[in-house]
């Protein structure tokens, strides 16, 4: 028996609990490879990597073994004033995997926390640099992109531009600067990609010129704005961004929490632009979806500004479970799998199959704006009958319900439907994923929907 939303002690994240009075939350009892298994034994293909975190499949034997081995030694130790081999090895591996200027790793326990760390480091860097170089104005402002998402703690939420998450907390938030999004789906029909990107970039540059004396950093999700609905843009924009930050001597923070560790086709998204950020935020796939952990990588230039006999000039940010050895062993095992299984190269076959299947799907009359960046594929559910956007959202939810009943987990963001499967997925399973999706679209479009407020609330939120 599943407890109803009214009687259960559990409050689910990103969920309108009202909806679960009528629709009990599915219960997962085990998981293996690309599949989750419901309590009735039904397998469900995990088309979203369990909120974008799982890389190599559930219950991977090599990662299981690494964590089990670590459990026999010790499970946790304070990282302030102590160290241990797993976290030292992980820091060294991450430095080896990223561009040369990124030489320092600061660990935290979530993606939001990583963004908080990067923002605080950048602000404190400029404050302490100001003290050393009198006459330089203090900087305390950040630029982020429209439709950007960087987390839900107060610092990260202040550079997030999705009102559904932030509007009710506005009294708690510091207002920073927003630059136009480079999302290619917003360009005019007669506009080239380059013209659109240049137009948006010029607006960003003007914003920087007008506020350069008070800007700490620009923070962006490279190549894919995830929670906005998998909105995509090409690597050249990142190249321009790096040049702009260099020209005006401001930091560049890349939030690769969702897109890191192979999601875009390369280990890290910024590789495709041939650039290096001043701060690189990592989480989600860092431990292959096993345990909470995040990391902010930065440069020696930043590190040296905090290096002082004065304790107050150190970076006094801490989490109880920072550098957890179980999470570190999971992360090390995951990085080893990339090498042993040649994962990035093998994924190229999946990427080509996605491209082919998206082209086929794009012929459907209720599908628009098919897009792909590496192992991330997305499309918009549309309807030619002119019904309102809330009705389209409702049909996207119906589509997800149908898919789950037929063995596929998807989780649309509004009317944006996306796939981010584990890398262990097979060609047959990709075909299955698209086949179920087409049937789900056809069924959802055929259903009557109501667009009133009560109906929308009853249906509940369907967030990333």
Report the chain (464 residues): mean pLDDT per 10 consecutive residues.
69 82 88 97 98 98 98 96 97 97 97 98 91 66 97 95 90 94 95 96 98 96 97 98 97 98 98 98 98 98 96 93 97 98 98 98 96 98 71 91 97 96 98 98 89 39 40
- Token pair listed for 413: 């963001």
Find all residues with CB under 8 Å of 138, minimum gap 6, and list them.
Answer: 126, 127, 130, 214
Chain mean position to CA 2: 31
Contact between residue 265 and residue 374 where contact means Cβ atoms under 8 Å apart: yes
Cβ density class 193-206: b for 16+ within 10 Å, e for less: eeebbeebbeebbe
Contact between residue 358 and residue 379 where contact means Cβ atoms under 8 Å apart: yes
What are the structural domains of the chain?
17-59+342-446 (3.90.1150.10), 64-340 (3.40.640.10)
Q: What are phi and psi of 144, to 5 degrees?
A: -130, 170
User: What is the per-residue pLDDT for 134?
Assistant: 52
Annotated binding site: 51, 111-112, 149, 255, 284, 318-320, 411
| Angle, CA of 306, 310 and 316, to the nearest 5° | 55
User: What is the per-residue pLDDT for 5?
Assistant: 65
Place of tokens 């290619």: 184
Burial class (CB in 10 A: 0-12, 13-18, 19+), 423: buried
Annotated binding site for pyridoxal 5'-phosphate: 111-112, 255, 319-320
- Token pair listed for 300: 């020696």
Distances (CA, A) of 37 to 30, 287, 407: 5, 22, 9
In 180-336, the DSSP E strands lie at 215-220, 224-225, 231-232, 251-255, 279-282, 294-299
Annotated binding site for substrate: 51, 149, 284, 318, 411
Long-range Cβ contact pairs of 76-82 (< 8 A, separation 24 or more): 76/321, 76/324, 76/325, 76/326, 77/325, 79/107, 79/322, 79/323, 80/318, 80/322
User: What is the per-residue pLDDT for 12?
Assistant: 87
Rounded to an integer, what distance in angstroms lies between the CA atom of residue 201 and that of residue 104?
A: 30
What is the reported pTM?
0.94
User: What is the per-residue pLDDT for 130?
Assistant: 67
């Amino acid at each position: 028996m599943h407890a109803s939303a009214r009687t259960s002690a559990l409050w689910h994240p990103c969920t309108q609990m009202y909806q679960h009075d009528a629709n009990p939350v599915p219960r997962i009892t085990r998981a293996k490879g690309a599949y989750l298994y419901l309590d009735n034994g039904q397998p469900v293909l995990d088309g979203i990597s369990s909120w974008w975190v799982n890389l190599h499949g559930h219950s991977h034997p090599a990662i299981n073994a690494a964590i089990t081995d670590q459990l026999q030694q010790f499970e946790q130790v304070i990282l302030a004033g102590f160290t241990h081999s797993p976290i030292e090895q992980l820091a060294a591996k991450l430095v080896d995997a990223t561009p040369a200027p990124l030489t320092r790793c600061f660990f935290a326990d979530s993606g939001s926390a990583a963004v908080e760390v990067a923002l605080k480091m950048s602000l404190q860097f400029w404050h302490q640099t100001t003290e050393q170089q009198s006459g330089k104005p203090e900087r305390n402002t950040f630029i982020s992109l429209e439709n950007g998402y960087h987390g839900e703690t107060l610092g990260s939420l202040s550079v997030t531009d999705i009102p559904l998450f932030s509007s009710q907390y506005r009294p708690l938030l510091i207002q920073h600067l927003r630059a136009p999004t480079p999302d290619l789906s917003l360009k005019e029909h007669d506009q080239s990609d380059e013209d659109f990107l240049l137009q948006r970039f010029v607006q960003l540059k003007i914003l920087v010129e007008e506020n350069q004396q008070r800007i700490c950093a620009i923070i962006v999700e490279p190549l894919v704005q995830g929670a906005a609905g998998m909105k995509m843009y090409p690597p050249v924009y990142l190249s321009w961004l790096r040049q702009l930050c260099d020209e005006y001597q401001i930091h560049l923070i890349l939030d690769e929490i969702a897109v890191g560790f192979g999601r875009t086709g390369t280990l890290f998204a910024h590789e495709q632009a041939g650039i290096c950020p001043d701060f690189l935020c990592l989480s989600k796939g860092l431990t292959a979806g096993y345990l909470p952990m995040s990391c902010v990588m930065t440069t020696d230039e930043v590190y040296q500004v905090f290096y002082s006999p004065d304790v107050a000039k150190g970076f006094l940010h801490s989490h109880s479970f920072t550098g957890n050895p179980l999470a570190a062993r999971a992360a090390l095992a995951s990085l080893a799998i990339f090498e042993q299984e040649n994962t990035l190269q093998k994924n190229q076959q999946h990427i080509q199959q996605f491209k082919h299947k998206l082209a086929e799907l794009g012929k459907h009359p209720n599908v628009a704006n098919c897009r792909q960046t590496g192992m991330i594929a997305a499309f918009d559910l549309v309807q030619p009958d002119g019904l309102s956007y809330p009705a389209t959202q409702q049909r996207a939810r119906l589509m997800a319900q149908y898919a789950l009943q037929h063995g596929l987990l998807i989780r649309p963001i509004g009317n944006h439907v996306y796939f981010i499967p584990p890398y262990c997925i097979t060609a047959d399973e990709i075909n299955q994923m698209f086949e179920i999706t087409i049937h789900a679209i056809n069924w959802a479009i055929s259903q009557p929907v109501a667009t009133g407020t009560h109906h929308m609330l009853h249906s509940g939120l369907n967030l990333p």
